[in-house]
């Protein structure tokens, strides 16, 4: 599986920007009690780990990722935190005993996996009965904006198709409810976290519309052109249209989904 | 201007179902103080008037609509309410003195107008300085679902195109911020009201996915086929796919937008 966002420095900066702008929206209602052991699966460069640890300073975290490079970045970022352990591990071959963890946390991981249901089943195995799973994923199909632009939708579709070609699903957010149910979790509840951006919210205009979403789509330009998915002119027109939605009379909408489930 | 939803009994039942299921989401934060005079522009069959009056029992309402038939239905529904007056009037030729109203309320009206900005300007004229305007509109471009279906999106697009052919804009929700700003309102703030529906919310599965949204799309079948927009087989496939999203592993998403502005 290749990681469609890329492991380069620019991707790291982008993921960090995103984390800063969206921390409250996505994470403010996640708190783990003192002494609980939490598995963070797919921690990447630690963008979410920072917030997880800050919101639950007395819980202990094991944060895993398949990429050594990402883990190294995460470790540099978190070096002062005593309650996080980083480990290189594959979510499909977890090096943990069954029922080891009180809780499991997953953010922006399932979108990259060809078998998200199997990943959830594996995570359920290492979760203690009564423990919770929290899953946060985006959904690129939730994107719409003003002024509307067919070129912008085509550019976004390149990202969706490249992610699909890598075995992932950029529109997985809307599927969290059936996925968690099918994996056998109980009390599944999903709450959408819509990012609504207009000129009255300048921090989101810059932090989300420009520097997170549009920068992410811009980041697949070479791959999309290389795959013959779109012409350079059309792609660039789409990117300009996305930046256009960040102007004073523009509006941009995107929705993340946050799911909670429990292992009986 | 022809009204794309139609004035028949089925449309009335549908609009009433929608009002019942969505009352809290759309209206729970709208309350007008004792003695204030509120203009409800485009009251239709009174689906929103019922809630407006219940939430602000000591305000006085003037509810207008361009359709005599709709007003008659609204009047039958509200006959016991002493604090509502119904009047037949065109939003572009309001029969009221300038600065007559303390507040203006608009719900599901702008989507049907070819000149929504001009309508807002006319409404602003009859609003007192310091008064508020509240606007609620849907946005069909905010619709996505699981399982996804190209046919379902094509069926929805028929509704959007028919509404456009009538001079309306079924995707107007996302534009409320720039529209209110352009009309000269101050302190404009927009909050999206997303309807997220999965099997854990059976009231919305039935009341919204099936009986409101899908029934509305189904309602344009004859018009869409008559206009040669789509084949009967493809349209019916789309409708089946929309009902499919109401099954146990389905998910349906739609977003309304609620805007508040103030006249300086």
ipTM of the shown complex: 0.91
At residue B23, φ and ψ (nearest 5 deg) are -50, -55
CB contact under 8 A, B144 and A190: no
Residue A103, CA atoms < 13 Å, CB-side half-sphere = 22
DSSP state of B7: S
Whether the CB-CB separation of A205 and A41 falls below 8 Å is answered with no
CB contact under 8 A, A253 and B148: no
pLDDT of residue B139: 98
Considering only CA atoms, give the Rg of chain A.
Answer: 18
Whether the CB-CB separation of B178 and B137 falls below 8 Å is answered with no
pLDDT of residue A86: 96
CB contact under 8 A, B196 and A191: yes
Name every chain B residue with its beta carbon within 8 A of the beta carbon of A253: 142, 174, 192, 255
Per-residue pLDDT band at B23 (split at 50, 70, 90): confident
Whether the CB-CB separation of B222 and B158 falls below 8 Å is answered with no
Q: Closest partner residue to A200 among B145, B188, B198, by Cβ?
A: B188
A249 min Cα distance to partner chain B (Å): 5
Instruction: Tell me which of A186-190, A207-211, B18-22, B163-167 is least confident.
Output: B18-22
CA–CA separation, B120 and B109 (whole Å): 11
Q: What's the token pair of residue A209?
A: 């519309």
For B85-113, what is the mean pLDDT?
Answer: 98
Query: What is the per-residue pLDDT across B41-64, written as a single tens digit (0 to 9) for each?
Result: 999 999 999 999 999 999 999 999
B146 min Cα distance to partner chain A (Å): 7
Mutate to test the interface with B, among A139, A144, A179, A201 (most CBs of B within 10 A): A144
b/e B155-174 (16+ beta carbons within 10 angstroms → b)? bbbbbbbbbeebebbbbbbb
pTM, two decimals, is 0.92
Query: B188: burial class by Cβ within 10 Å (0-12, 13-18, 19+)?
Result: buried
Whether the CB-CB separation of A57 and A82 falls below 8 Å is answered with no
Size of interface A-B (CB pairs under 8 A): 79
Per-residue pLDDT band at B1 (split at 50, 70, 90): very low
CA–CA separation, B31 and B42 (whole Å): 19
pLDDT at residue B11 is higher than 70: no
Q: How many residues does chain A have?
A: 264
Per-residue pLDDT band at B113 (split at 50, 70, 90): very high
CB contact under 8 A, A182 and B253: no
Name every chain B residue with its beta carbon within 8 A of the beta carbon of A146: 174-175, 178
Distances (CA, A) of B194 to A193, A256, B30: 9, 12, 17
CB contact under 8 A, B198 and A177: yes
Name every chain B residue with its beta carbon within 8 A of the beta carbon of A148: 141, 171
- For A91-159, the three-class secondary structure string (H helix, E strand, C coil) is CCECCCCCCCEEEEEEECCHHHCCCHHHHHHHHHHCEEEEEEEEEEECCHHHCEEECCCHHHHHHHHHH
Per-residue pLDDT band at B79 (split at 50, 70, 90): confident
CB contact under 8 A, B251 and A178: yes
Whether the CB-CB separation of A27 and A55 falls below 8 Å is answered with yes
b/e A12-28 (16+ beta carbons within 10 angstroms → b)? bebbbbbbebbbebbbe
CB contact under 8 A, A174 and B199: no
Name every chain A residue with its beta carbon within 8 A of the beta carbon of B189: 200
Name every chain A residue with its beta carbon within 8 A of the beta carbon of B249: 177-178, 181-182
Query: What is the per-residue pLDDT across A3-55, written as a single tens digit (0 to 9) for each?
Result: 555 445 555 555 555 446 688 899 999 999 999 999 999 999 999 999 999 99
Per-position pLDDT tens, chain A of length 264:
345 554 455 555 555 554 466 888 999 999 999 999 999 999 999 999 999 999 999 999 999 999 999 999 999 998 878 899 999 999 999 999 999 999 999 999 999 999 999 999 999 999 999 999 999 999 999 999 999 999 999 999 999 999 999 999 999 999 999 999 999 999 999 999 999 999 999 989 999 999 999 999 999 999 999 999 999 999 999 999 999 999 999 999 999 999 999 999
């Amino acid at each position: 599986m290749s990681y469609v966002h890329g492991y380069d420095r620019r991707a790291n900066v982008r993921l960090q920007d995103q984390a800063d702008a969206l921390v409250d929206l996505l994470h403010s209602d996640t708190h783990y009690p003192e002494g609980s052991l939490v598995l963070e699966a797919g921690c990447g460069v630690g963008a979410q780990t920072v917030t997880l640890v800050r919101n639950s300073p007395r819980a202990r975290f094991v944060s895993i990722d398949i990429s050594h490079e990402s883990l190294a970045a995460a470790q540099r970022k978190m070096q002062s935190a005593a309650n996080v352990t980083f480990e290189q591990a594959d979510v499909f071959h977890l090096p943990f005993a069954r029922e080891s963890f009180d809780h499991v946390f997953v953010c922006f991981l399932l979108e990259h996996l060809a078998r998200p249901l199997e990943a959830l089943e594996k995570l359920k195995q290492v979760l203690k009965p009564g423990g919770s799973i929290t899953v946060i994923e985006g959904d690129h199909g939730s994107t719409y904006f003003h002024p509307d632009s067919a070129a912008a939708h085509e550019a976004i579709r390149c990202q969706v198709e490249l992610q699909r070609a890598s075995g992932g699903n950029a529109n997985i957010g809307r599927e969290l409810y059936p996925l968690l149910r099918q994996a056998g979790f109980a009390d599944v509840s999903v709450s959408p976290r819509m990012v609504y951006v207009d000129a009255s919210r300048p921090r989101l205009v810059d932090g989300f519309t420009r520097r997170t979403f549009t920068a992410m789509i811009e980041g697949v330009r070479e791959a999309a052109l290389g795959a013959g998915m779109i012409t350079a002119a059309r792609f660039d027109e789409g990117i300009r249209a996305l930046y256009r939605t960040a102007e004073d009379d523009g509006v941009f909408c995107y929705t993340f989904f946050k799911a909670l489930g429990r292992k009986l």
